[in-house]
Structure 1
Amino acid sequence: MDQVKFLGCIYGGCTILNKRFTLSLLMCIGFTIMFSGINLTQRNRCLSLSHGEIDDPFIHLSSFLIGYIIIQLPAAWVTLKFSPLIWFGRSIFAHAILLFAVALLGSFGYVFLVVLKFFEGALSGIAFIVCHAAWKNWTPAAERSTLLTFALAGGYLGDFFGLVMSIFCASLPFWMFVCCIIGIFGIIWWLVWERTVYETPNKHPTISNEELNQIHPLIQDEIRPTEGVSCKEIILSIPFLVLVAVNILRAWNLRFLMYRKEDMIITSFIRFTSFPLSGYLADVLVRKTSLTITNVRKLFVIGVTLLEAVFFFTSMYHDHLNNANWLYWVSFLMQILYHVAISAVCVNAVDIAPSHAGVTAAIMNIIFHIIVSFGFKIEFYLHERDWTRLVDFISIVGHLIVGVLYGIYGTADPITVKG
């Protein structure tokens, strides 16, 4: 079955059941299980079954976010010292066990739930970071977009399933039962993961010689020049700093995309489809055209950045975006474009530091979530003072500046000791 062709994929040898695609598929399923549980226990309707109406979800949501953020750098350190793939499996398994605790103990009191959500945030933070670091031994640069974005898309798919399940929580016993079912799936997933996944291709006992010879020498040639680079050199490099600026724009723009309760299902669908498809498209462009990986990253990042600047310019003269007008429908297109750029930024963090991808992903993820968190309050403050147009103008200028900087300094080439 290892020779079943998958869309005539990269290098003529990517197959449906080859080991690197199996790894990506298992990561996708793991994230789906984890984020289904996270969103099921996060939605107010489900929580109200055990704690009454929760008017302000700030406490348990903040507990989750604090756990998620503070674990980022320790998780990045773990990826430099230990096997990322082992820790990814452990984080999903631990979350599966935690879901049983949420179902059984979360109803005892709101304080129990807040503590459990903190640990849930920490486990999801570990999974996110080690996922980025795990690919250094398994995917050449020209396949990275497809495999990494498909793996991470499980988080969006889990959001979708968790949202749907939370809508149909009709009683407390049913909510607890669903939590336990997701936990059981997580344990089963871990048993499969432990018997399927190996740290490097040359350690995999059942990998075909064709796949091993196809990817292992190429991967070694790509990561060898980056292994002697220090974290300090990466963090202070211009490509990384420019990528951080792009990531700040991604976080800021998330506040201005359309989110209405009646649109949540369709926006969730847009996320988990557009994110991996854009990753696959990036690799297709590299394979089928004369564009380099760097050129494709610039095409996605700069192209979306300029279109967002146009969107902000248009929104300056339309005060009622929530009304049924054409600009409201354009916002769904902006959702797609936003996740096209997000996929490029996520993969670019691995491009420039494949041996230290956990570090780059952790720093950018911390900045992203801090900007998103403050974005809520900033947006509310500015709307109260009717400064929205001024902010849109500043956003336009910022997009143009960052777009130019990324066009000059953005790269998909790894940072090496020689710079």
Structure 2
Amino acid sequence: MDLSATPAVLVTGIGAVSCLGGTADAFWTGLKAAAGRPTAVPGLTERVPDVLAYQVPDGAPATDAAHAAPGRATRFALSAVREAVADAGLEPREIAGAAVVIGTAGGEGGAREGDHTSESKGTAKGAGTAKGAGDGEGTRDGAPAGAWEPVFSVAATVGAELGTFGPNISVSNACAASGYALSVAVDLIRRGEADTVLLGGAEGIAWVPPASFSRLGAADPETCRPFDAERRGTVFGEGAAVLVLQSARAAAGRPAYGRVLGTAWSCDAHHPTAPDPGGEQPVRAARAALEEAGRAPGDIGCVIPHGTGTVQNDVIEYRVLREVLGDRAPATPLFSLKAFIGHTAGAAAAFAAVTAALIARHGEIPANIPLASPDPECPVRLPQDGPTPLEHPNVLVNAYAFGGSNFSMVFGGEAR
């Protein structure tokens, strides 16, 4: 592909709220320190003992009462968006004309879960005090009991709070949601429909998803440990990750983290939850992203895999990488992000994209969390002894989802 003929899509700002803290700086510092650990979910772990989660600490982000959103995912998204907007130095006119594209698997689905309410979740985890508490009106995340609120309202609320008047799109196709959202954002810029897009993913811990994974036998009771032979499933995380994407015209004069060089989707439609053991469609997506990026396997300096810690996903993803990267696969370092922050579901690809931008900016890959028992069925390269230099400024990101939705992106650290 002739990249000179493809409109550039640059990343000029980032923001993050995660179990590692309420800012992108705290996120990067936590990755370098391997600081994330899952904890009990108040009210849920007592009922489902094998459920833990990587949860945003109390007070991160700090709640601005004048701009408090009603739900966890939306509060996290707003904080990350404001940080990304400030990081990019966007002017009011740019914010007003921006598009908003947010991926989320659960939205504010926690508000639909009935009676395990703000006491066990909101107050215990800093999710805000319920309105009307003590006055006989039961509430959940600020909404009166029985009141109807839209579940997938994160993008709309972000747009309303910031006063954006460009396209406003919510994407929700399970754990590939923010990957697909990123592709939509890139297309908006390349088609000339937006010069600036606030792109991200957001999730707040609810009860149904982790409890459901427990029933499926896919919840690890200890920690999220992708590619470890002792892994027993995934562990959910929460938070939000946001990137400011801009056309070359809008980004002129701004420092950039790099470029989104290529994105691709595919769907294998093999099974409602299980991945296709052949891996044909994830391979197709990764190759298409590389082709659009104009990059070869030897140009990839790091892979941020989907790597959930489930037995099937990790083995199949290894086979996919072996097929896509060929003889470069054993030498290409992976950064196993979910071992640090858990599986953030619909926000996972956005977190991976923010991580790719930080790796490219700093020119190094943080040390992976050591594996107790590396799985011989997926012998990926996971450097664990200190940071690894990024030898090539291109990062491949993968995200997969229930229903067979596959996403890949190539991020280039060379801004222009």
What TM-score do the two structures reach when normalised by structure 1?
0.30
Work out which of the two has the higher radius of gyration on C-alpha atoms and give 1 or 2.
1
Higher helix share: 1
What TM-score do the two structures reach when normalised by structure 2?
0.30
Higher strand share: 2
